[in-house]
Structure 1
Amino acid sequence: MSIRSYLNPVHCLQAAAVVGVLAAMTTPAQADNWRGWNVHPPGYPNSEALDSFVKDVTEKTDGRVNAKIFHNGVLGDQPDAIEQTRSGALNFANFNMGPMGPIVPETNVLSLPFLFKDIDAMHHVMDGEIGERFAEALERKNLVALSWFDSGSRSVYNTKRPINEPEDMKGLKVRVMNNDLYVEMIDALGGNATPMAYGEVYQSLKTGVLDGAENNFPSFESSGHNEVAKYFSETEHLILPECVCIAKASWEKLSEEDQGIVRQAALDAATLQRKLWAEGSKKSREEVIAAGVEINEVDKPAFQTRMEPIYAAFIEQHPDLEPLLNDVRNAQ
């Protein structure tokens, strides 16, 4: 019997992924050999859209850009990937704007709770002149944003009880992304915010290190969090855009023709991603209900009222961002 037959299939897949990453990293970073980062697993709406982006870029540049995407966060977590892309060690990535705040302060506006009325309003804002202003802020940090993905609305889920009023959050240990605004948001609701890497959340929920987290239906379902957290409360407190971002150094090496091809591929990927996202979100919601998750609406105005001090503090700390915040609100 071979050594391979003793290996757990999951370990084999992980080992294969590592071998693939190491092989790619032996190729000198250059404009015609692109490595991309994505935190989500294959089959996820973002992953399928990025696969389409990679295919379009490689084929339509006639191989002048040979792009490859690594899913499942095998190249590191998002903060690491942001820095790798800014430095040019990674050529492109799909980033959520939440953890982008510490690096690109303007994007913190997008992390203010209950900023967008709904998902359509977010699309309208980000696809227009205001989205260009956020793209300019990213480019000043060596990230060229070519299109905006959807990430649905984020809500709170937990292992303990339904959340109907802010008071129901009291004492719950809730995982948030690495951004002070999210910590302040959960604390304002009476919970105990815990920044944590996404990959650690399942086990932490299972063992009681965490009581809950906040995310959208596709992530809740695909991560298996619904297996251990049976209460999903539709707070819809965050509607965060995501970007297809190219390292500025990689972008500037492209010819004008290839820049046009890459930009169009990113726009086409966003169109596909939004379609898949809407379909996947509906399907994930149905699947977690069928699996026994209790879903409830909340007293949303009561939650919004708790956010007023966060807005006031944000404007006090970032007076230069108040015009941008007001423009986002008024553009909806």
Structure 2
Amino acid sequence: MRTPKVVAALLMTCFACGAFAQQKLELKVSEIWGDDYPNTKALRHMSEVLAKQSNGRIDPKVYPNGTLGSEKEVIEQVKMGALAMARVPLNLLNNICEETIVPSLPFLFRSTDHLHKSLDSAVGQEILSSCNSKGYIGLAYYDSGTRSIYAKKAVKTLADTKGMKLRVQQSDVMVAMANAMGANPSPMPMGEVYVGLRTGLIDAAENNWPSYESSKHFESAKYYSRTEHLMNPEIVIFSKVIWDKLSPADQKLIGDAAKESTTVQRKLWAEREKVSEDIVRKAGSIITEVDKKPFQDAMVPVYAKFVTSPRMKDLVKRIQDVK
């Protein structure tokens, strides 16, 4: 039989839990892009939805322009719980959550429609959930367009990339991809690319239309060659340290708001791609078509290196089978 003191202690514990569940949650959200970028707008939409549905109790604050650090830095902050949420490229998690390598593989997705259907399916959710044990809650995927190479010369064939100093994201898959093209990979943060192109530290970079335009990279690399080698999604991650302290109801609110924001982000992204392409064309960028088949064939060693386990092979096949 429980004594009055035990009962009182239990009541106090329950009260404390309830109090935590009902206290105001001020959540820091990191984004490297500016206020007018689709990702930032989508994160702000998510924040507004959460504030409204919680009557102001959940208060996410979006910090754009890399205020809280580079994408690689904020990944560590999220894991420690110093930061609640961030939008980061999926491939920066490749060395942390192995399954995230799969959507980061070159030439995996046939189209934007195939990308969306794959990520919205059970296989996409499984890849998100694979980060749970590593300290991250994967909330949602964001579009990051189709990546192509831009340089001071046109890239029309695989031979054109031989020996090229190509900036890639700080990712083993991206380095392997560049090597498979015959290029010399130069991993560096996005913020260093502009100077790298201007000074000749790198010959080329690869990215999507909005990044090419908004970063002003087109000023130094006017040839945009449609290699379209990658549709690497981005991911909104939440700190598991903080997540585990939330009530199931708050977890659901945050998860639902993040998924709702993907619809906003995809729409804004599609619109921004068209605007960005138009801007760089008018500024004098030269858009060139590429013979993609040799590039695709060159990726065989990349898949052989990273898709080694039955689990990884199954994920790749299931994505490839999505119609």
How many angstroms apart in 2 are the aligned matches of 1:215 and 1:43? 18
Contact 1:202 1:223 in 2 (8 A): yes
Identity %: 41
Q: Deviations 1:66-113 (Å, cap 9, x if unpaired)?
A: 210111112111121111111111001112112111111111112211
AA aligned to 1:151 is: S
Equivalent residue for 2:216?
Answer: 224
Pick from 19, 44, 50: which aligns with 2:37? Answer: 44
Pick from 119, 138, 153: which aligns with 1:126? Answer: 119
AA aligned to 1:296 is: T
Equivalent residue for 2:283?
Answer: 291
How many angstroms apart in 2 are the aligned matches of 1:326 and 1:38? 32
The Cα shift of 1:320 comes to 4.1
AA aligned to 2:45 is: S
Contact 1:91 1:246 in 2 (8 A): yes
The Cα shift of 1:328 comes to 1.7
Pick from 159, 162, 167: which aligns with 1:170? Answer: 162
How many angstroms apart in 2 are the aligned matches of 1:320 and 1:260? 28
Q: Is 1:237 aligned to residue 229 of structure 2?
A: yes
The ranges of structure 1 where at least 4 consecutive aligned residues each deviate by more than 6 angstroms after the TM superposition are: none
Pick from 110, 121, 140: which aligns with 1:117? Answer: 110
Equivalent residue for 1:79?
Answer: 72
The Cα shift of 1:264 comes to 2.2
How many angstroms apart in 1 are the aligned matches of 2:236 and 2:50? 13
- The TM-score normalised by the length of structure 1 is 0.87
The Cα shift of 1:59 comes to 2.5
Equivalent residue for 2:246?
Answer: 254
How many angstroms apart in 1 are the aligned matches of 2:114 and 2:74? 28
How many angstroms apart in 2 are the aligned matches of 1:31 and 1:300? 52
Q: What RMSD, in angstroms, separates the aligned Cα atoms of the two structures? A: 1.4
Residue correspondence of structure 1 range 56-75 to structure 2 within 5 A: 56-75=49-68
Q: Is 1:322 aligned to residue 313 of structure 2?
A: yes
Pick from 268, 272, 276: which aligns with 1:280? Answer: 272
Equivalent residue for 1:303?
Answer: 295
Equivalent residue for 2:181?
Answer: 189
The alignment covers a number of residue pairs equal to 301
Contact 1:32 1:63 in 2 (8 A): no
In the superposition, relative to structure 1, how do residues 65 and 119 fare at CA in structure 2: closer, same or farther (>3 Å)? same
The Cα shift of 1:31 comes to 7.0
SS at match of 1:140: helix
Equivalent residue for 2:17?
Answer: none
Provide structure 2 residue ranges, at least 5 long, that are not aligned to the other structure.
1-22
AA aligned to 1:65 is: I
The Cα shift of 1:163 comes to 0.5
Tell me which structure has the larger Cα radius of gyration.
2
Equivalent residue for 1:54?
Answer: 47
The Cα shift of 1:41 comes to 1.2
The Cα shift of 1:124 comes to 0.5
AA aligned to 1:213 is: A
The Cα shift of 1:251 comes to 2.1
The Cα shift of 1:315 comes to 3.1
